[in-house]
Amino acid sequence: MTLHGFTLTAEGPFDFGDSLRFVEDWPATSALPTDGRALRFAYCAESDWLPIGVRVTAAPGGVEVATTRPAGPSIRGEVARIFSLDVDGAGFAKTAGADPVLDDLRRRRPGLRPVCFWSPWEAACWAVIVQRSSMLIAARIKQRIAERYGTRLTVDGQPCLVFPPPVSLLEAGGLGLPAQKEEWVRGLARAALDGVLTTEHLRSLAPEEALAELRALPGVGPFSAGLILIRGAGAPDAFPGDEPRLFAILREAYGLPEDTPPAAYRGLAEAWRPYRSWASFLFRATSYGTPED
């Protein structure tokens, strides 16, 4: 299959190798075909919900991308969002420098940017699947859904599963989930097709508005809303309002008492603007904690 290539350049520090290590270590993506130099994956593009295969390798100052079909501006934007290359990161060092704890993390992993789900739709489905479940079990369920309702593409000689587009799950049953979760997935499919659960819509709103809209979707609570906005839509400056695991990481990092109220964490994150999402991701991806969601 002919691959179509293009280059994405980072504004500010970026280390594709560190992004690749994150993908290899994270249970939700650790099964993807990678040889330590290239990442191969396939997904349904938000621009048309048709499958596309992608190979990404390091390039000076960014990445080289090859796709299984021609990539116009929408596809290029989607791949850039996945690696947070659609955000100017040149100011992150200065922002982190005002917070010695955050700056220590940034210096240890200076080129790591948030690695996102292939789309907010996939992030939302993951958020529902993983509720009250382990990451490993959730990953297997998500893979079985892709095997039954999705497709398979060969990317650079490697087979890749494609998680199904929203239309394929509108009436789907037998997902291997409790009945309530299956109903939630169908509701999320409707929201995606209506344009609500999309990067374009979510990034057009102020973060607080986007989080509120997401919390109104079926099966989406405060934790899931933050996951979808930050790791799905790739919003660079959002802070989840109620995420116990992140709060625990921050308590350890800053030596805060156990009874620290949520408002205090939000106040702490104010100093990270306009990179609150990046800072939160960095805390979760470093020695203070593991990226468990």
Torsion angle (degrees, nearest 10) of CA 82, 123, 176, 291: 80
- pTM exceeds 0.75 for this model: yes
Predicted pLDDT at 49: 96
Predicted pLDDT at 207: 94
From CA 178, how far away is CA 175, in angstroms rounded?
A: 8
Cβ–Cβ under 8 Å, residues 292 and 245:
yes
Low-confidence ranges of the chain (pLDDT < 50): 288-293
From CA 101, how far away is CA 242, in angstroms rounded?
A: 21
Q: How many CB atoms lie within 10 A of CB 87?
A: 24
Cβ–Cβ under 8 Å, residues 107 and 260:
no
Predicted pLDDT at 291: 42
Cβ–Cβ under 8 Å, residues 96 and 103:
yes
Predicted pLDDT at 34: 77
